[in-house]
Amino acid sequence: MDAYDVIIIGGGVNGAGTARDCALRGLKTLLIEKKDLSGGTTGASSGMIHGGLRYLLHDVKTTETSSRDSGYIQKIAPFLLFRIPFLFLVKEKGANMELLETFFEVYDRYGKLKNSKPHVRLSHKDVLELESGLHFDGKGAISFDEWGIDPYRLCVLNAKDAELHGAKILLHSEVTDFLFQNKRITGVQVRTADGKKNQYLGKIILNLAGPWIPELCQKAGIALKLRPAKGVHIVFDRRISNIAFVTETIDGRSVFLLPYENTSIIGTTDDDFYGNPDDLDVTQDEVEYLMQAIEQIFPSIRNHRVISTYVGIRPTLYEWGKTEDSLSREHKIFDHETEGVPGLISMAGGKLASYRLMCEELTDLVCKKLNVKKSCETHINVLPGAQKELSFEELFTKAQEAKISAYALSRLYFRHGYECLMILEKMKKNPSLKRTICTSEPVLEAEIRHVIENEWATSLDDLGRRTRLGWGGCQGSECAWPAALILQEMLGIDPQKQMDIFLQKRWKSISPYLYGHSLSQEELKRQWLL
């Protein structure tokens, strides 16, 4: 039986981030995930590293720490982030622009920490000049910016770095039970994907399973209550605009339309969720609720092409008597020693933007318990791929040299950072790996082989999370089959079975809002793949 210092349950960004932190501090770490990295809440987030703008009103310190941490994340994975300029639209004619501008001036002070641009005050005319698609007759707007990130890549890179520093990553393995010794939890029982049962011993077990935290706690005889909330996003096929907008829904919540990588997304809903987090559905109502809100400011939105929807569960902390939206986004660490179950610690709540900080706090606690003196380095040590930055111009030259599309290379760089040169090297050695598998993102064969070899990808879905294969406009019509063949070649998996699972998943994600040429796309897909 293998023994570890720390066993982490849950392969979301918190799990992967904590694994990395623990590994960097020299702890013998094991990460266990029942499905795939970032397959749950992390993957369903809006993918934003924001600086805590709204905290300026009541908690300046939080804004400062959020902004500082946003700066750290930029430092450790600069390639993974992209700037999203926002326009804060001032709709009321009588609004006091001076007050608002002051607010953003204060935010600018923290903006320096996260490498943001200063705010710009825009008149009504300026706003329409910048985005003629808006329906806007308000007073003006103020711009600010936040950073977008690919949460899947962030999670995978954290796990990769953890592994580089000695952690063990165990995917597709579910924790079925805890092992006890004199009321102390000393390990876990794990069932792997092929049904084998293994046991692992750990001095400390961290329950970072997000929405599955209560279920796991129950197995340890602890009642931990969360207030899970469901969040839905809608994805459009391209960047509708380069600028993000925030608007209000019918019940006064804020939702946004945001350029995200090479798509646009609308998000998000926030509704109490009582069901099983393994079985999530996007309803038509939820989509309609979001569309109606965006339609208020962007009337042509329904003519744009929706390519998918996604849904996740926020593991929000339990509070009675509040609406979902006003629930605190704070995180909390539950040391179950206080409940008489030493050896198990859970952490719930929080947001993607502060994942690193949360992981640091948790690892500090772990180190204190294990008497390890080393302090956190996750904000200093860079993630794999951040050894060196490449500019657009350098990418352009490199693409020309390698005779591949510069756009494909820039997407590759965005996902893999400096490691894209490794993949490029592969292509130079074997030009057939330049084959474009997924046209829409685009994803070249070399990248697919790279993630299968180095990033634990074992299915079409895993490939999607790591490379966005099949996530573009055609939702896999063209790429899924060739990619399944590569999986078969490298791992010996039945491609037809892969296809069935993949097509079913994609079908589920598009069916809440299938119209326009997405319907033609589905017709084509059926003709080709059925």
Q: Which positions from 119 through 158 interact with other proteins, judged by CB under 8 A? A: 119-123, 126-127, 129-133, 143, 145
What are the backbone angles phi and psi of residue 266, rounded to the nearest 5°? Answer: -115, 135
Residue count (the chain): 530
Binding other proteins by CB under 8 A: which of 333, 365, 493, 529? 529
Q: Scanning residues 319 to 358, which ones bind other proteins (CB under 8 A)? A: none
Contact call for residue 117 and other proteins (CB under 8 A): yes
Residue span 379-418 as binding mask against other proteins, x where in contact by CB under 8 A, dash where not: -------------x--xx--xx--xxxxx--xx-------
Q: Scanning residues 51 to 80, which ones bind other proteins (CB under 8 A)? A: 56-61
Contact call for residue 523 and other proteins (CB under 8 A): yes
Contact call for residue 115 and other proteins (CB under 8 A): no
Question: What is the closest distance, in whole angstroms, from the C-beta atom of residue 478 to other proteins in the complex?
Answer: 6
Residue 56 carries which DSSP code?
G
What are the backbone angles phi and psi of residue 277, rounded to the nearest 5°? Answer: -65, -10
Question: What is the closest distance, in whole angstroms, from the C-beta atom of residue 238 to other proteins in the complex?
Answer: 4
Identify each DSSP E strand in 61-129 by its residue range.
81-90, 120-123
Q: What angle do CA 131, 136, 141 make, to 5 degrees?
A: 70
Amino acid sitting at position 63: T
Q: How many residues bind other proteins (CB under 8 A)?
A: 102
Which CB sits closer to other proteins, 148 or 187? 148
CB atoms within 10 A of CB 433: 18
Identify each DSSP E strand in 91-196 by its residue range.
120-123, 140-149, 168-170, 173-181, 184-192
Pairing outcome for strands 168-170 and 29-32? parallel
Contact call for residue 517 and other proteins (CB under 8 A): yes
155 contact partners, CB below 8 Å, separation of at least 6: 11, 12, 13, 16, 37, 38, 42, 43
Question: What is the closest distance, in whole angstroms, from the C-beta atom of residue 473 to other proteins in the complex?
Answer: 6
Say if CB 263 and CB 239 are below 8 A apart. Answer: yes
Contact call for residue 429 and other proteins (CB under 8 A): no
Q: Scanning residues 214 to 243, which ones bind other proteins (CB under 8 A)? A: 237-243
Which CB sits closer to other proteins, 181 or 242? 242
Question: What is the closest distance, in whole angstroms, from the C-beta atom of residue 55 to other proteins in the complex?
Answer: 8
Contact call for residue 490 and other proteins (CB under 8 A): no
Binding other proteins by CB under 8 A: which of 442, 450, 461, 462? 442
Which CB sits closer to other proteins, 219 or 302? 302
Question: What is the closest distance, in whole angstroms, from the C-beta atom of residue 386 to other proteins in the complex?
Answer: 19
Say if CB 469 and CB 412 are below 8 A apart. Answer: no
Q: Give me the helix-helix angle, 480-491 and 460-467, nearest 10°.
A: 110
C-alpha–C-alpha distance, residues 30 and 194, integer Å: 19
Could you tell me which stretch among 23-31, 152-160, 348-356, 435-443 binds other proteins (CB under 8 A)?
Answer: 435-443
Question: What is the closest distance, in whole angstroms, from the C-beta atom of residue 173 to other proteins in the complex?
Answer: 28
User: Among positive and negative, which fits the CA dihedral 110, 113, 114, 120?
Assistant: positive
Which residue, among 55, 80, 214, has the nearest Cα to 154 in the 3D structure? 80
Residue span 491-510 as binding mask against other proteins, x where in contact by CB under 8 A, dash where not: -----x---x--xx--xx--
> Which residue is it, tokens 């933007």?
353
Please, is 368 exposed, middle or buried when counting C-beta atoms within 10 Å of its C-beta (0-12, 13-18, 19+)? exposed
Contact call for residue 118 and other proteins (CB under 8 A): yes
Helices and strands (H and E) in the chain: how many: 16, 20
Residue 305 carries which DSSP code?
P
Q: Scanning residues 261 to 280, which ones bind other proteins (CB under 8 A)? A: 261-263
Which CB sits closer to other proteins, 19 or 234? 234
Question: What is the closest distance, in whole angstroms, from the C-beta atom of residue 151 to other proteins in the complex?
Answer: 18
User: Among positive and negative, which fits the CA dihedral 491, 497, 502, 505?
Assistant: negative
Question: What is the closest distance, in whole angstroms, from the C-beta atom of residue 240 to other proteins in the complex?
Answer: 8
**Cis bond upstream, residue 283 (ω within 30):** no
Question: What is the closest distance, in whole angstroms, from the C-beta atom of residue 99 to other proteins in the complex?
Answer: 7
Q: What angle do CA 36, 38, 41 make, to 5 degrees?
A: 120
Question: What is the closest distance, in whole angstroms, from the C-beta atom of residue 224 to other proteins in the complex?
Answer: 28
CA 5 to each of CA 335, 339, 408: distance values in angstroms, whole numbers, following the listed order: 16, 22, 42
> Which residue is it, tokens 């961290």?
206
Question: What is the closest distance, in whole angstroms, from the C-beta atom of residue 284 to other proteins in the complex?
Answer: 5
Contact call for residue 524 and other proteins (CB under 8 A): yes
Contact call for residue 198 and other proteins (CB under 8 A): no
Alpha helices for 275-354 (secondary structure H): 284-297
> Which residue is it, tokens 């308000």?
138
Amino acid sitting at position 56: L
Q: Scanning residues 284 to 303, which ones bind other proteins (CB under 8 A)? A: 284, 300, 302-303
Contact call for residue 365 and other proteins (CB under 8 A): no
Q: Scanning residues 449 to 478, which ones bind other proteins (CB under 8 A)? A: 472-474, 477-478
Which CB sits closer to other proteins, 251 or 393? 393
Which CB sits closer to other proteins, 10 or 259? 259
Q: Scanning residues 83 to 112, which ones bind other proteins (CB under 8 A)? A: 83, 85, 98-99, 101-103, 105-106
Could you tell me which stretch among 118-126, 196-204, 324-332, 357-365 binds other proteins (CB under 8 A)?
Answer: 118-126
What six digits make up the tokens of 134? 């808006």
Question: What is the closest distance, in whole angstroms, from the C-beta atom of residue 134 to other proteins in the complex?
Answer: 10
Which CB sits closer to other proteins, 179 or 499? 499
